[in-house]
Each structure stands twice: as structure tokens, then as C-alpha cells.
Amino acid sequence: MRRLRKRTDGSGVEAGNWLTTYSDLVTNLLCLFVLLFSFATVDRAKFEQFARSMQSSYLEMSKGEIYTKNNGQSLVSLIADYNAVGGQDSVTSNASVGEDMTLEEFKINVDKAISDLGLDEYISVIEETTEVTLRFNSLILFDSGKADIKSSGEEVLKKLGDFLAKLDNEILIQGHTDSLPINTPQFPSNWELSTKRATNVVKFLIANCGVDPAKVTPTGNAEFRPVAPNDTEANRQKNRRIDIVIIK
């Protein structure tokens, strides 16, 4: 009987066997990523960056033709198709666990958190041309005439501060008071009180929320930037506040 000979590439290794094995591996990896994608919401920018990173890694591993022909286009297109049919709404939930967050995602997540906490009357998000302000009524954070953050205020600040830590924007923490004078050994005037409150908020955000100290600055404004006339107690309470100003 004549034995059949298997073709080799001259080195004793069966030609094409490595390619078959590699193709199976790539197919399995693709299935894995598609499966993971089906269970998760995906930030498009992050996923595209990941896809490009994977592509670059494979290109560095080999100069084979199969790598250069597979440029990852279909993987990125999958994300585009997903967002086109409504997946964009899922960005909000994903942003809360991702490393970075856009300012638009920040507003959506913070608005929801404030509503969930039942604090719509005391905390508001105000958008202007060059900045977004997260405004805290001082009742949430401080006792009257004090600058130490209340324990209940720390819980609220922690929840919202976690979102601040995901921003790449410059952040100003502004302390404000009403026009009633204060004169204590610790706070000779409203300047000291407003500045100390802002500073304590900054220190808390850095220590407990991971906010980058290079991106956050405390300022005290005393009574000189009111949002309402200081003619009633209700209006004066509006002026006693902490403004977290995020520069666009």
C-alpha cells in the first residue's frame, strides 16, 4: 500500500496547522467579547480605545498577513450600531462605575442621585455658559455658625463627590454666607467662616472621594455674592450655601 504523505513547509511542521489553531483562538476570543458586550453597557469612546489597543497588540505580535487584514473595523462598528438603536441611554449607568465621566454624564447622574436622596429642595444643578454649579444649601452640610461638616452631610457629599472624582475639569469650591455678621474667636468675620467651610469640603472630597487635589480650589466669598436679597430669613438661608463650580 502506498502511504499518503502530508504536506509540510520543509521544516517538518505541517503547513497550515498553526493557522487553523490561531483562527480557532481568534474566533473564541471574538465570541467571548461579544458575550461580554451583551451583558454590559459600554461607553463608546472607551470601547473604541480598547479595540484600537487590542488591534495594536496583535499587530506587534506578528507581521503575518492575517493580522494586517483584520483591522478591528467590525468590532468598532458593533458599538456604532448599538448606539444607533438606543444603546446610548445606557451610558448613564455605565459612567457611574467607569474611570472617567463627561460633564453631561455628570449632570445626569447627579440629578438622579439628588432625586433618589430626596434632596431636590436643598441641592440643585445649575448650568451656565462656562460652568456647571452644584449648589448645596448650608443646612445639608453645616450647623449654624459652624464649619465642621455634619455626619449626615458627609454621607451626601460622599455620594456626589464620587461623581466629581471622575471629572477631568477644574473645580472651585465656593463658600458663601448671608449678610448677618459673625464675631467669634474662631471666625472673626464671614470671610473666615466661608473660607473654612469651603476648605473643609475640599479636604473631605480629596480624602474620601479621590478628587485630584491639583484640580480643586477652595474660595471664601463671605456675604458678597448673594443669590437672593438678605431681607428675610428664607432668603438669607438661600445665601448660606456651598457652590461646587465645575469649569467647562
More confident call, 172 vs 29: 172
User: Same structural domain for residues 228 and 202?
Assistant: yes
Same domain? 113 vs 191: yes
- Examine the domain organization and report whether 147 and 60 are in the same domain: no
* 123 and 241 share one domain: yes
Please state, as a whole number, how many other Cβ atoms lie within 10 Å of the Cβ of residue 143. Answer: 12
Euclidean distance between CA atoms 92 and 192, whole angstroms: 39
The domain boundary residue, chosen from 66, 89, 112? 89
Residue 185 belongs to some domain of the structure:
yes
What CA–CA distance (Å, rounded) separates 112 from 16? 56
- When divided into structural domains, the chain yields a total of 2
Measured between alpha carbons, how far is 243 from 230 in angstroms, rounded to an integer?
18
- Residue 241: beta bridge partners? 137, 176
**pLDDT, tens digit (0-9, with 9 covering 90-100), for 212-237:** 999 999 999 999 999 999 999 999 99
Q: Which domain holds residue 63?
A: 17-89
Same domain? 234 vs 168 = yes
185 pLDDT more than 90? yes
8 Å CB contact between 43 and 95: yes
pTM above 0.75, yes or no: no
Cα angle value 193/214/200 (rounded, 5°)? 25
